Structure 1
Amino acid sequence: MTVPGLDLSLLGWHESRAGDLPPGAVPARVARVDRGAADVIAAGGHHHAQYAAPLRRAAAADPVNLPCVGDWAALTVLPEGRHELAAILPRHTSLVRGGVGRVSRHGLSGDSQGQVLAANVDVVFIAEPALHATDFADLGRIERLLALAWESGAEPVVLVTKADLIGEHLPGLLDDVAAAAPGAAVHAVCSVSGEGVDLVRSHLAGTRTAVILGASGAGKSTLVNALAGREVMETQQVRAGDGRGRHTTVHRELIALPGGGIVIDTPGIRRIGMYEMSQGVDLAFSDIEELAAGCRFGDCGHAGEPGCAVLAAVESGELPERRLDSWRKLQREAAWIARRSDARLRAEERRRWKTIHKSMRGQSRP
């Protein structure tokens, strides 16, 4: 259906995925999504493809099933010549946030669900501008994004952008950010001067895919342009006085970089909800988990129990109290999500059995 030309391995395609393709379909990577359709890249070039009916039904049941930038999809051609996405291939990583409501004919429901921000990414760049990151609340935002990144299965990397704006205070800020991001690399970046851009590029060796997350004005699009060596994303000048930029990116887009590597630029994130956490919070707070191993009680909640190594670290100054408060907040949120998920599964199981019993009663009638 397509004329061979583009080597999809440059976009991260592996032939091991070919077995997931339905008959008559070819692989394509989702570069941008629109309502009910997506721009994709296949061996024959770029195509605009509508969603097939089964894909629409799956997405209506759960937004996590919606095609997302970075997805590998099965692309087919209809008899009239239109392209269609028949299915989304299994994701090897997915960055999912919570707090997305189900949309029905009655409007937005209160049953919040997940939204996939990017799929099949190897690296999650968390961009936080230097002037913002001096605020403790924004260290909390870094921690929250790290939890999402660790949960996705990708490698998190924190980028302190606009590093030129903070002058001699940069080393201290980097120390604070590193303390809030154990296990993750932390780089200072100034996309305008080029400082740190090569360090960022080093995480994109070969055909690795990265997504850049951060608030509006964090310099994400400017960084993409610096990595590409030309202007591929629109940017705006920072405001005078506070050094903050204005939001320009309004959609997620996959961009292949010269020399190798793929990057996904994203709009600024205002709300960062957790979604079905299993290990993300523990990995984002691995320092607290290590301290907890020294607590007297195995089920210590670090809330006043005797022999608590975590509280002792707070008292000694080894662990910032702010960080413990952030851990508690995310743990409560993750526990609430788990309870809600369990309740939803129980309700779905009850509905399923009611349907089965009703069908059986109908069959037993003479």
Structure 2
Amino acid sequence: MKERIEGFVTAVHRDRYEVYVNGENFYARLKTGVYYSDEREEEFPTVGDNVVLAYNSTGDSLIIKTKERKSKFSRKDPDIGKGEQIIAANFDYVFIMMSLNFDFNLKRLERYITASWQSGAQPVIVLTKTDIAEDVEKKVELVSQIALGADIYTVSTITGEGMEPLKKYLEPDKTIVFLGSSGVGKSTFTNYLLGREVMETAGIREEDSKGHHTTTHRQLFVLDNGTKIIDTPGMRELGMWIVEDGMDYSFSDIISLAVQCRFSDCTHTGEPDCAVRSALQNGTLTDARWKNYLKLQRESDFQAEKESRNKSRESKKTNKKMVRNSSKVNSKMEEW
């Protein structure tokens, strides 16, 4: 029997995984009988997952178990029909990074915040490129209106401005995942914290301030003090997966208003004494935030309903298979 060891996934390359064990990275593959059988019970590993392996000293080891996760960041897989895509697992903080230049986008930020609260970790807003941005204070104020419960920092990895306060998150045995669109400076940020160039970086396009994709896959690094950081590729889109809990945190202001309505089943479309409509009318709730809340809620509800149907179909398939197997056993017993 091969030796059983434990480690955590630092990178995923198609069907091959890099796993960190006792200070050393080596390659592993999934054990077919465990992960590709009809009765599969193990989750496919992602970056940050703790796994159990059957160690092989002469070739790729085999991953035989994905241990229980304490957190995960999910989105709707961009490939049609694939369902949930898990970006990273087992982290304590989500650094949501957004550039303060022309790529500044509050609606996109609300998506990231909602999905981050859903992950089970603490979101932290890191607004980058203060060295080339305009109207920084105004933009920070706009972010503070939607980033409820999350700390906000403005930084520049070029000048080092604002980086010192973030060191409080760099604790041993803590893991941070960096999320954001291309060009916000995630790879530059990673290099800054590591103190060396390990991630390729590129500038933004001058004509539209859009970023280039320099990170092509998710990668976990371990700092000298034991902190783990996960760098991720820029996401062209962040389709909502099921984010019921995330909505409660991210839009807690709207949830609080809704419970003040006269009717518990208020649709906020014309009922009397509707606190949501009153807030929209007096400006304490902006129309843009309300519309984005409704949009994200619809996306989440759609995915929840779709997932429920899929699980129902899978359950029926399993029951039919159990009935067939039972019938075969009974037939054999009758023959005996």
Q: What TM-score results when the alignment is normalised by the length of structure 2? A: 0.91
Specify the alignment match of 1:198 in structure 2.
Answer: 164
2:49 to 45, 60, 71: 71
1:45 to 16, 19, 24: 24
The answer (yes or no) to whether the contact 1:59–1:65 under 8 Å persists in 2 is: no
1:123 to 67, 78, 93: 93
Specify the alignment match of 1:87 in structure 2.
Answer: 65
Alignment pair present for 1:166 and 2:133: yes
In structure 2, distance between residues paired with 1:341 and 1:182 = 29
The equivalences for 1:1-366 within 5 A come to 24-43=3-22, 45-57=24-36, 65-78=43-56, 82-101=60-79, 110-132=80-102, 134=104, 138-167=105-134, 169-363=135-329
Distance change in 2, residues 1:225/1:59 (3 Å): farther
The answer (yes or no) to whether the contact 1:95–1:149 under 8 Å persists in 2 is: yes
Deviation for aligned residue 1:131: 2.0
Distance change in 2, residues 1:354/1:55 (3 Å): closer
Deviation for aligned residue 1:78: 3.6
Deviation for aligned residue 1:35: 1.9
Deviation for aligned residue 1:286: 0.9
Distance change in 2, residues 1:23/1:310 (3 Å): farther
The answer (yes or no) to whether the contact 2:128–2:184 under 8 Å persists in 1 is: yes
The answer (yes or no) to whether the contact 1:59–1:66 under 8 Å persists in 2 is: no
Cα deviations across residues 196-216 of structure 1 (Å, max 9, x unaligned)?
A: 212233222222111111111
Identical columns (%): 34
Deviation for aligned residue 1:58: 6.4
The answer (yes or no) to whether the contact 1:130–1:162 under 8 Å persists in 2 is: yes
**What is the one-letter code of the residue matched to 1:216?**
S
In structure 1, distance between residues paired with 2:150 and 2:110 = 11
In structure 1, distance between residues paired with 2:38 and 2:9 = 16
Cα deviations across residues 303-340 of structure 1 (Å, max 9, x unaligned)?
A: 22221111211111111110000000011111111111
Unmatched segments (≥5 aa) in structure 1: 1-21, 102-109
**What is the one-letter code of the residue matched to 2:309?**
A
Deviation for aligned residue 1:354: 2.4
Count of paired positions:
332
In structure 2, distance between residues paired with 1:318 and 1:111 = 40
Cα deviations across residues 205-246 of structure 1 (Å, max 9, x unaligned)?
A: 222111111111111111111222222211112333544431
Q: More helix per residue: 1 or 2? A: 1
In structure 2, distance between residues paired with 1:245 and 1:124 = 21
Specify the alignment match of 1:6 in structure 2.
Answer: none
Cα deviations across residues 33-53 of structure 1 (Å, max 9, x unaligned)?
A: 112211111116221112212
The answer (yes or no) to whether the contact 2:103–2:209 under 8 Å persists in 1 is: no
The answer (yes or no) to whether the contact 1:133–1:139 under 8 Å persists in 2 is: no
Unmatched segments (≥5 aa) in structure 2: none
- SS of the equivalent of 1:54 reads helix
The answer (yes or no) to whether the contact 1:178–1:186 under 8 Å persists in 2 is: yes
Specify the alignment match of 1:16 in structure 2.
Answer: none
**What is the one-letter code of the residue matched to 1:39?**
E
Cα deviations across residues 245-301 of structure 1 (Å, max 9, x unaligned)?
A: 311110111111233421111111012122232311121111111122211111222
Distance change in 2, residues 1:246/1:174 (3 Å): same
**What is the one-letter code of the residue matched to 1:297?**
F
Deviation for aligned residue 1:362: 4.4
